Amino acid sequence: MFTGNLPTTSSENYRIVLPQSRIPTAWYNILADMPTAMPLALNPGTGQPLQPADWAPLFPMGLIEQEYSKERYIQIPDEVRDIYRLWRPTPLIRAVRLERALDTPAHIYYKNESVSPAGSHKLNTAVAQAYYNKKEGIQSISTETGAGQWGCALAIAGDMFKMAVDVYMVKVSYQQKPYRRSIMQAYGATVTPSPSDRTASGRAILARDPETSGSLGMAISEAVEVAATSGGKTKYSLGSVLNHVMLHQTVIGQEALDAMAEVGEYPDVVIGCVGGGSNFAGIALPFLHRTLTEGVKTRLVAVEPSSCPTLTKGPYLYDFGDTAGLTPLIKMYTLGHDFVPASIHAGGLRYHGMSPIISALVNSGHIEPRAYGQNQCFEAAILFARNEGIIPAPESSHAIRAAIDEALAAKETGEKKVILFNLSGHGHFDMAAYDAYLAGKLTDNGFSPEEMVKSLATVPQI
């Protein structure tokens, strides 16, 4: 560490920031290029494929159309692109100091989505969703939030369009991350710890398990119920999983393609962490487009926590997106909608299911899933922070762990591999997690296959 030498310098461009004119003008829709047919969402009552109109109580038509669209490019409305200009294009950074610390011949690049006003990639879709709701005259939006990042992003976006935002926040995060709650309240949102007694589903869950730490599945049930029983005044908004959310996030990968061309490199591997799949989809799908249409090969690695191993341990089948079973049935990798993951600090990765798009692409072999324990991720996060100067979100540290492992593998083989990962957010509101790690108090909560078998027992047989 204390070598007495000054660091090596270079005149290469390590920080590529495109001008605002290069913010993408359209979102890229992978549904136009899917290598296998996408299984449709089903009505749990009839078992029949859901029609677009069936989603109308929950979402505005603009978003429902995107959910089903097979158009390859969907124009970004001027009002949305105008707001994107507050922080987009985000920088593409080559992590040269990290490369040197690892003594690897690999080049490591990351797309820095932590520079958004919300501190994560989630504002990319929050702004789009608030816009389509506002355009159809909706006055308020209900939603759930895990670690609080989605709630913060929607609170900011809702406030920009002067709409009320009603957030159900997973109880354990509400207690662990009081400042995230303050951010949402600063932007005028209402925040309720979930499960709560404000909804029938919350009351039912509390009656069954009064001490529950909450889960994303439970909070989704409450937020969906609020919209479904509002008589059309309130719509529901989801920060990940759905096709239209994957779509909105593709600004990340399109900019990354553009910026990498600027430095004349192309990634051999693209990495992202996965909770519901949106930041990974955002960076990876524009590269998959080139693979599918031009044969340009890039490995895609999706990283999840080993205590919530949806893609690496779960089966691929039809399940509910929430605990109470209020959502349609969607075909995805799932640990069962009753599964309550361990209270790890990467709260944004504690979801029992996965985006149907990402699930189908894992099933078809286009995406490699991988799982890590939280201690090895925090170790990677600290190494990254001490070389690149950014404290990453605990979620993003999963992608960093994988990028470091890819770079170390390249060191073994001497390969000049090009690695790209998405820094989905910063960790400035996650310092309690870093406190626990630095004090050696972070446990690697195991995953119990028995519990998964139990929660899979309540998954409907399709």
Ligand X SMILES: *Cc1c(COP(=O)(O)O)cnc(C)c1O
A 10 A CB-CB count for 47 gives 11
Binding residue for ligand X, selected from 278, 306, 334, 343, defined by CB under 6 A: 278
Check residue 240 for interaction with ligand X (CB under 6 A): yes
Hey, which residues does 330 pair with through a beta bridge?
319
Check residue 305 for interaction with ligand X (CB under 6 A): no
User: DSSP for 414-441?
Assistant: T---EEEEEE-BB-TT-HHHHHHHHTT-
Measured from the CB atom, the residue of 275 and 410 that comes closer to ligand X is 275
DSSP letter at 167? Answer: E
Measured from the CB atom, the residue of 417 and 426 that comes closer to ligand X is 426
Shortest Å, Cβ 352 to ligand X: 13
Q: Determine the Cα–Cα distance for residues 306 and 374; give it in Å rounded to an integer.
A: 8
Alpha helices in 297-421 (DSSP H): 310-313, 356-363, 374-388, 396-413
Shortest Å, Cβ 393 to ligand X: 4
| Total residues binding ligand X (CB under 6 A) | 20
Measured from the CB atom, the residue of 104 and 237 that comes closer to ligand X is 237
Measured from the CB atom, the residue of 336 and 392 that comes closer to ligand X is 392
Measured from the CB atom, the residue of 107 and 331 that comes closer to ligand X is 331
Check residue 244 for interaction with ligand X (CB under 6 A): no
Q: Determine the Cα–Cα distance for residues 395 and 378; give it in Å rounded to an integer.
A: 10
Q: Determine the Cα–Cα distance for residues 41 and 243; give it in Å rounded to an integer.
A: 11
Helix (H) or strand (E) holding 371: strand 368-372
Query: Within positions 124 to 163, which residues make up the interface with ligand X, using CB under 6 A?
Result: 149-150
313 contact partners, CB below 8 Å, separation of at least 6: 335, 371, 447, 449, 452
Measured from the CB atom, the residue of 331 and 345 that comes closer to ligand X is 345
Query: By the 8 A CB rule, do 74 and 387 touch?
Result: no
Q: Determine the Cα–Cα distance for residues 292 and 282; give it in Å rounded to an integer.
A: 16
Binding residue for ligand X, selected from 30, 425, 447, 459, defined by CB under 6 A: 425
DSSP letter at 189? Answer: -
Shortest Å, Cβ 10 to ligand X: 30
Measured from the CB atom, the residue of 96 and 377 that comes closer to ligand X is 377
Comparing every residue's Cβ against ligand X, the nearest one is 425
Residue 427 φ then ψ, to 5° = -110, 25
Q: Determine the Cα–Cα distance for residues 345 and 323; give it in Å rounded to an integer.
A: 21
Query: Within positions 252 to 271, which residues make up the interface with ligand X, using CB under 6 A?
Result: none
Q: Determine the Cα–Cα distance for residues 24 and 250; give it in Å rounded to an integer.
A: 9
Shortest Å, Cβ 151 to ligand X: 10
Q: Determine the Cα–Cα distance for residues 151 and 190; give it in Å rounded to an integer.
A: 10
Measured from the CB atom, the residue of 104 and 392 that comes closer to ligand X is 392
Measured from the CB atom, the residue of 104 and 149 that comes closer to ligand X is 149
Check residue 277 for interaction with ligand X (CB under 6 A): yes
Shortest Å, Cβ 305 to ligand X: 11
Shortest Å, Cβ 177 to ligand X: 12
Check residue 279 for interaction with ligand X (CB under 6 A): yes
Query: By the 8 A CB rule, do 377 and 394 touch?
Result: yes
Nearest to 280 by CA among 260, 295, 302: 302
Shortest Å, Cβ 244 to ligand X: 13
**Residue showing tokens 């390859």:** 72
Check residue 276 for interaction with ligand X (CB under 6 A): yes
Query: Within positions 315 to 334, which residues make up the interface with ligand X, using CB under 6 A?
Result: none
Instruction: Count Cβ neighbours within 10 Å for each residue of 94-121 and write b for 16 or more, e otherwise.
Output: bbbbbbebbebebbbbbbbbbbbebbbb
Shortest Å, Cβ 424 to ligand X: 3
Q: Which stretch binds ligand X (CB under 6 A): 136-144, 164-172, 278-286, 400-408?
A: 278-286
Query: Within positions 331 to 370, which residues make up the interface with ligand X, using CB under 6 A?
Result: 348-349
- Amino acid identity for residue 255 in this structure: E
Q: Determine the Cα–Cα distance for residues 86 and 89; give it in Å rounded to an integer.
A: 9
Measured from the CB atom, the residue of 277 and 314 that comes closer to ligand X is 277
Measured from the CB atom, the residue of 150 and 437 that comes closer to ligand X is 150
Shortest Å, Cβ 181 to ligand X: 15
Interaction pattern, residues 388-417, with ligand X; x per rule: CB under 6 A = -----x-xx---------------------
Check residue 120 for interaction with ligand X (CB under 6 A): yes
Residue 16 φ then ψ, to 5° = -105, 115
Binding residue for ligand X, selected from 141, 273, 311, 420, defined by CB under 6 A: 273
Binding site for ligand X (CB under 6 A): 120, 122, 149-150, 240, 273-280, 348-349, 393, 395-396, 424-425
